[in-house]
């Protein structure tokens, strides 16, 4: 296990830093949803861009402030933002297994495969299409979300659990469950139906908990990021080819 995890409690960032990042993201998502009901923004491209930014900006801001202002000014040392070749194997395994489990959940909830029935219509293949269809969901979101949920949040909860005097095993389990639960919460806040809340919530919780376990056990985010890229790509790529 990465030795950085053993000294997390000496850093000045913690659960409060993660909490305000989540809260800010949830508030912005709700506000954007309320604006969408009133027909704003009218430009669908702008609306899609905002749908990413309301999540990315507060989460990434929390990570950068925690590291650059209250930490070691190194994403690698603060949050394990490193990669080793073995992480590719662990990440691919995590992403494929989580997507298989999600498939069963989707069939049980929707009666078919494909969470939200992802489609992209007729591809234009301009720069915006490359960003919205590929870069944002498959590459950018996994990096930002893993930095926050498995970097800042999971490590903060782990440190808090250890500082409270509990066993490391209990602190590790708590960090895994909290990371998965908060990850699911952020993804279901804009779900439209109870069925979607159940399917998306359970699916993202399973992946989030698995990614947290992998990140905390290895001490690196590399495997979790690869797993997240795989998990998302297994929805996006078939939709693009369909």
pTM of this structure: 0.91
CA dihedral (25, 31, 37, 41) positive or negative: negative
Q: Is the pLDDT of residue 7 over 90?
A: no
- The residue assigned the tokens 């995890």 is 5
The predicted-structure confidence for 103-138, as pLDDT tens digits, reads as follows 999 999 999 886 544 445 555 667 887 888 889 999
Q: Which domain holds residue 222?
A: 3-241
pLDDT band of 191, cuts 50, 70, 90? confident
Give per-residue pLDDT as tens, 74-98. Answer: 999 999 999 999 999 999 999 999 9
Given a cut of 80, whether residue 205 has pLDDT beyond it is yes
Model confidence at 1, pLDDT cuts 50, 70, 90, reads low
Confidence check: pLDDT of 240 > 80: no
Residue 119: name the closest of 230, 237, 29 by CA. Answer: 237
> Of 69-73, 125-129, 218-222, 225-229, which gets the smallest average pLDDT?
125-129
The structural domain count of the chain equals 1
Question: Which pLDDT tens digit goes with each residue over 123-179?
Answer: 566 788 788 888 999 999 999 999 999 999 999 999 999 999 889 999 999 999 999
Q: How sure is the predictor about 10, in pLDDT bands with cuts at 50, 70 and 90?
A: low
DSSP assignments along the chain, one per residue: --GGGGGGGGSS--HHHHHHHHHHHHHHHHHHHHHHHTT-SSSHHHHHHHHHHHHHHHHHHHHHHHHHTTS-S-HHHHH-----HHHHHHHHHHHHHHHHHHHHHHHHHHSSSSGGG----S---SHHHIIIIIIIIIIIHHHHHIIIIIIIIHHHHHHHHHHTT--HHHHHHHHHHHHHHHHHHHHHTT--SHHHHHHHHHHHHHHHHHHHHHHHHHT-SHHHHHHHHHHHHHHHHHHHH-
Indicate left, alpha or beta for 125 from its phi (over 0: left) and psi (-120 to 50: alpha): left
């Amino acid at each position: 296990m990465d030795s950085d995890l053993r000294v997390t409690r000496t850093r000045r960032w913690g659960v409060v830093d993660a909490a305000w990042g989540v809260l800010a993201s949830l508030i912005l998502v709700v506000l954007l949803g309320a604006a969408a009901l009133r027909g704003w923004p009218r430009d669908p491209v702008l609306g899609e861009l905002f749908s990413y930014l309301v999540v990315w900006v507060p989460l990434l801001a929390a990570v950068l402030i925690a590291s650059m202002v209250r930490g070691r000014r190194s994403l690698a040392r603060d949050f394990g933002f490193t990669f080793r070749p073995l992480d590719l194997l662990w990440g691919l395994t995590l992403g494929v297994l989580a997507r298989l489990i999600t498939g069963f959940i989707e069939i049980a909830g929707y009666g078919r495969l494909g969470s939200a029935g992802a489609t992209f219509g007729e591809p234009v293949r301009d720069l915006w299409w490359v960003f919205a269809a590929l870069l944002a969901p498959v590459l950018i979101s996994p990096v930002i979300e893993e930095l926050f949920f498995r970097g800042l949040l999971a490590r903060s909860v782990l440190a808090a659990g250890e500082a409270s005097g509990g066993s490391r095993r209990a602190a590790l389990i708590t960090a895994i469950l909290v990371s998965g639960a908060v990850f699911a919460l952020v993804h279901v806040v804009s779900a439209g139906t109870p069925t979607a809340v159940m399917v998306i919530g359970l699916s993202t919780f399973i992946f989030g908990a698995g990614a947290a376990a992998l990140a905390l056990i290895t001490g690196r985010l590399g495997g979790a990021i690869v797993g997240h890229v795989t998990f998302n790509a297994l929805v996006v790529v078939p939709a693009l080819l369909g």
